[in-house]
Chains A and B, each alone.
Chain A
Amino acid sequence: MNIEQKIIFSEQTLALVSKIVSHYPEGKQKSALLPVLHIAQAEFGGWLSVPVMDYVASILNILPIEVYEVATFYSMYNTKPVGNCVIEVCRTGPCWLCGAEEIIMHLENKLKIKAGETTSDGKFTIKLVECLADCGNAPVIQVGWDYHGNMTKEKIDELITDFDKNNKVSHKNPYEI
């Protein structure tokens, strides 16, 4: 995240937040917390810093601790900085049976980081995730909204080259359709 970036949603995003809040009964605005955290994560560099969580608490009129406890419970919220491009590797049963470990090892060797870490240039993060439900094409990885199936070392190499060249950013607002 750019340190200079002000932690404030645009008018457009605030309108979106109001719309999401309106889906829930009066006084139950906390129900919008999960979606608003998804939006905040996408807009503020792919992770939720304490100031960002405090901001979310303020716009939903709830206590900061209520945001922290939710943000730390769910695995899709990153509470530490991540790279521009988060490569999520499915490590669950079927992918494991079909060679996910080799894919993880190859990624680690290629990017010279361990799973869970970010490259020093801030480009890539490897994240291990649970079932992506594309087991017919195992092993599978997810980058942003895209699934990539039947992964091999060669395909990983191609993808990384492509992402590197295009400065791929994996996080985007899930409510922008």
Chain B
Amino acid sequence: MEKMKVLIGMASCGIAAGASKVYDKIYALKESEKLDFELVKTGCIGMCFREPLVEIIEDGNSFLYGEIDEKKAVEIFEKHIKLSEPIKEYVVKTDLFETKDDTFWKGQVKIALRNCGVIDPESISDYETQNGYNAIKKILNENISQETVIQSIIDSGLRGRGGGGFSTGMKWKFAFNNKSDEKYIICNADEGDPGAFMDRSVLEGDPHAVLEGMTIAAYAIGGTEGVIYCRAEYPLAIIRLNIALAQAREKGYLGKNIYGKQGFNFDIHVKEGAGAFVCGEETALMASIEGERGMPRRRPPFPAASGLWKKPTNINNVETFANVPSIILNGANSYNIYGTEKSKGTKVFALTGKINRGGLVEVPMGITINDVIFKLGGGIQDNKKFKAVQLGGPSGGCIPEHLTDTIVDYDSVTATGAIMGSGGMVVMDETTCMVDMARFFLDFTQKESCGKCTFCRIGTKRMLEILTRITEGEGREGDIEMLEELSVQIKDNSLCGLGQTAPNPVLTTIKYFRNEYEAHIHSKKCPAHGCKKLLTYTVVEDKCTGCTVCAKNCPVNAITGERKQKHLINQETCIKCGVCFNKCKFEAIKLS
């Protein structure tokens, strides 16, 4: 009989939710009671909304426990681990009986995330037991030519998962065709889109898959050096990557004459960023690796011809690389059977915002947005009404309710005015003001603009000023038209993707929620009750019992009144935080 295996989801998300305490507790109990079972720290399981997560596998049966704290960990230890008696009410996933979260998994196909939450990311042997490094070994053992490898990637239909959506195989072909003694393979791990965390999860949960994908790319195009450009905000990802790199070098999978093949020299280093969203753009990223400010440059020349230190360079995103070993090992057909005509395979989405099940899902291209949000994602929090979903972060756009039957593939999403981007889905409900949302995203791009192109640098600032004015009740006639005009100018006159897409959140919200803009400008009203400056909180005289709860909780002491007397809100001092509104048990605070 196989030993019982206990896995704890310990990516950054799990740890943030308290998984370390759970691990420590179970570890301590294991030691003190000298029990023999395997205790594994694994990566992100995907169910962020139920973290901390503990999975117990025994006799081929898996039980995934959710929302586990130290107390529940003790119970699980006493009952399940010691006596093999599962505690049904804490189980969030098993094949043996139904749970209320089953629809989260329905329709998911895990290729990029195949090992996340399954293996110990700090163990190379764990990766190898899951067919790890077998793809590169297959290429070398069977002497598969570089051209054949590239053709397999082209045939798979894999397109850049960082958001660009360019054919990965074609990119490799261009780099292959450029002759040079030195060629670079770069992994773009500068994930920065608000609401996107799939790359962090892959790096923390399955770093070897990225290394293997990069090594295959190096073989295919003749790459000599690899760089993983990773956000410095991801310390755990960087630690795990460095552990994986050391293990791979020790095994002879990286370095000189790797896998015993004479002349196949390839090593990888991690390069940390330092907090600049624009460095996700490939030319800015290369500038940053070279130790410069992360400012994009004009293309052509494209990196495939002249990239890092002016050498041919191939840049792919983390998720893209993570797909590569599976495509090589199982054939292009294993990948392209999923998806639509022009968007093949699967895509990882991060569900965030006002959604019930915030987390990571991997689904075949072609699934509808509606299915992702309502079936997998479990719908909207607190039974509120769905309003829109922001796809593609600050470069993307809002997709309104009447378009949620749009399927997710590159072209269909682009047709709505949004973009696929890296796969962040930020869900908004009826209480989110769309003008304020657009202002918020523009505030982000305006801050993150590197400042090189005038239209991006100054244009986004002017747009932000107009949007701020509108949300503060100072909107003027002609503001909407001015925003539209500026948007066109910024899109047309910016060098890189940041500027070219920065106006998208504004354009899509004007397109689908023009009435909200008009209400702010003409009637000085915020229909969603989201813009604080346009709100007034008052006390309803006949409902106020004088319980003093509102006054006690007001952070700026704007509420006065004696106990059992009607209270009063000083409008001058009030910061419209809404605390009184939320705290009052008698519905005595009116919002208008």
Contacts and interface: CB of A to CB of B under 8 A. Distances in A.
A76 B200 CA distance: 18
Contacts of A129: 233, 275
A131 B193 contact: yes
Contacts of A37: 274
Contact of B273 (A31, A34, A98, A140): A34
Interface of A: 23, 25, 28, 30-35, 37-38, 66, 69-70, 73-77, 92-94, 96-98, 102, 105-106, 109, 129-138, 140, 142, 145-150, 174, 177
Given A94-B353, A137-B48, A147 B12 contact: yes
B555 interface: yes
19 contacts: A28-B290, A34-B273, A37-B274, A70-B293, A73-B450, A74-B274, A93-B194, A93-B440, A94-B352, A94-B426, A98-B354, A129-B233, A131-B194, A136-B13, A136-B51, A138-B352, A140-B16, A146-B16, A149-B51
Secondary structure of the B side of the interface? mixed
Given A31-B289, A73-B450, 10 more contacts: A30-B292, A34-B288, A70-B293, A97-B354, A106-B555, A133-B200, A133-B233, A136-B358, A137-B358, A150-B16
Contacts of A69: 293
Contacts of A131: 192-196
Contacts of A148: 16
Kindly list the 5 A-B residue pairs having the minimum CB-CB distance in the complex, ordered from nearest.
Answer: A136-B48, A149-B16, A74-B274, A75-B275, A133-B197
B488 to A, nearest CB: 24
Contact of A136 (B233, B274, B352, B437): B352
A34 B350 CA distance: 29
A140 B17 CA distance: 10
B276 A73 contact: yes
B296 to A, nearest CB: 13
Interface stretch (B234-242, B340-348, B494-502): B234-242
A38 B359 contact: no
Interface of B: 12-13, 15-17, 48-49, 51, 191-197, 199-200, 231-236, 238-239, 242-243, 269, 271-277, 288-294, 309, 350-354, 358-360, 390, 393, 424, 426, 428, 432, 437, 440-441, 444, 448, 450, 555, 577
Contact of B274 (A28, A77, A109, A137): A77
B271 A34 contact: yes
Contacts of A133: 12, 191, 196-197, 199-200, 231, 233-234
